[in-house]
Structure 1
Amino acid sequence: MCGRYTLAVEEEDLIQPFGIDDVQYEITPRYNIAPTQTVAGVRSDHGKRILQGFHWGLLPFWAKTKRMAYHTFNARAESIDSKPAFRSAFPEKRMAVLADGFYEWTHEGEHKQPYRFRVKSRDVFAFAGLYDDWKSPEGELFTSCTIITTKPNSLTKKVHDRMPVILGEEELNIWLDPGVSDKDLLQGLLRPYEAEDMCSYPVSRSVGNVRNEGEELIEKIALNSK
């Protein structure tokens, strides 16, 4: 599962690394991004990469109300082509959610202890995602997304039995290419990221409250502290 993550960077940190041509979303550093919030994502449109905001929680075009989006912030890689909520978006509506770290929780003693996971080789990386557009009865256009998860690697499985799909540069180019429609090829990208290129450390339990924000949330702590 991926239910909380960070993107504590500025806009200029994203443009060149992800080849963004058109910016339609204002980037500000964020340390505690949660489902139902607006998140920064990239998709391709007519040969250009667009940075835009997506509601985190996929709302398929056929949904009757917005309530469904509360339960679709993650999509399991193994079932995205069969689950009704995701199969209408896969493989045509692919996007990537940008992040510089994510949180997972484990039980340590009486408390749930959060850990932050990062990629060693890159300051910012991309989660594989899907998006869809939904129009309300009043005509409001609502663009939303989900983050795809897969089985854990040897590092993340110490804390959780799932992890978000992190795409390398080559995999990202394929994932965002609208000319690629081979489902087997795309499914092959949805695998655990290399554990050797990741690190993790414990952070404050304050990250568990979505109202908390601030740079202190990503600081490493001693496990006997709060």
Structure 2
Amino acid sequence: MKLGDAMCGRFTLYADPDFLEDYFDLENGHNLEVEPRYNIAPTQPILSIVQGKKGLRAGYMKWGLIPHWAKDESFSSKMINARSETLHEKRSFKGLLGKRHCVIVANGFFEWKKTDVGKQPYYIKNKNDDLLIFAGLWDRWVNKENGEQIVSCTVLTTEANEMMRDLHHRMPVILDKGKCNWWLQQANWTEDLLEEEFFKPFPSEKMMTFPVNKVVNSPKHDSVECIKELI
């Protein structure tokens, strides 16, 4: 992942656990613990959903993929995002396609716009306040020294839609709810099918953005202040 392609480096999730259980019809929803988060940062645990034996299962994965073949955890901070256009070419991702799909749940995400007086953070969300469902891939890494297992994931990105272009040239791959289950079924994908059905930019008309307080710049700040619109 090139540094210039990095994006979706912070996001939020403050939806009610009962709502999430019903929204995704989770098979383990009764055990789900979700604390409101307004400034989720790379390498932190993030709520992810996978296909279970009977239905969808939710749990926490480390944000930043650690390939199963990696020597150590250092990959994690470098692989929070993965370009959808080159998944089939990269060793870290091509073996996960069709095998280890996940979705990452968010209420919104942040991006920073360059201005004459520095970078201004913006909050991006669904216009109707619905959840955003990011397409992702996951892997399991085992520390050979102590046997510790870490399940980690990456958020897929695509080219920016018209609204996002003013902020960044990339954006997360956002799935309609109707395609969430399809993505998680982990069928034998072709590049054409992935591009046509999943990797197109989410429509601008379904999204909105506004500037927010610069307290979000530091991951130490995790409160509702991070998403309050600047007037």
Question: Would the TM-score normalized by the shorter structure come out above 0.5?
Answer: yes
- Cα distance, 1:13 vs structure 2: 2.0
Q: Amino acid of the residue matched to residue 96 of structure 2?
A: A
Aligned to 1:213: 222
Q: Aligned residue pairs: how many?
A: 221
| Local SS of the residue matching 2:96 | coil
Q: Does 1:48 align with 2:55?
A: yes
- Cα distance, 1:63 vs structure 2: 0.6
Q: Does 1:16 align with 2:25?
A: no
Unaligned runs of 5+ in 1: none
- 2:158 is aligned, of 150, 154, 169, to 150
- 2:126 is aligned, of 114, 119, 136, to 119
| Local SS of the residue matching 1:171 | helix
Runs of 4+ in 1 over 4 A off after TM superposition: none
| Local SS of the residue matching 2:88 | coil
Aligned to 2:115: 108
Per-residue CA shift, 1:109-138, capped at 9, x if unaligned? Answer: 221001000112352121000000111111
| Local SS of the residue matching 1:166 | coil
Unaligned runs of 5+ in 2: 1-6
Q: Amino acid of the residue matched to residue 22 of structure 1?
A: N
Q: TM-score, normalised by structure 2?
A: 0.92
Per-residue CA shift, 1:48-70, capped at 9, x if unaligned? Answer: 21110000000111111001111
Aligned residues: CA RMSD: 1.3
Identity of aligned residues (%): 34
Instruction: Kindly report which structure 2 residues correspond to 1:30-179, keeping only aligned pairs within 5 A, or say none.
Output: 30-137=37-144, 138-178=146-186
CA distance in 1, matches of 2:101, 2:195: 12
**Preserved CA contact (<8 Å) 2:17 2:32:** no
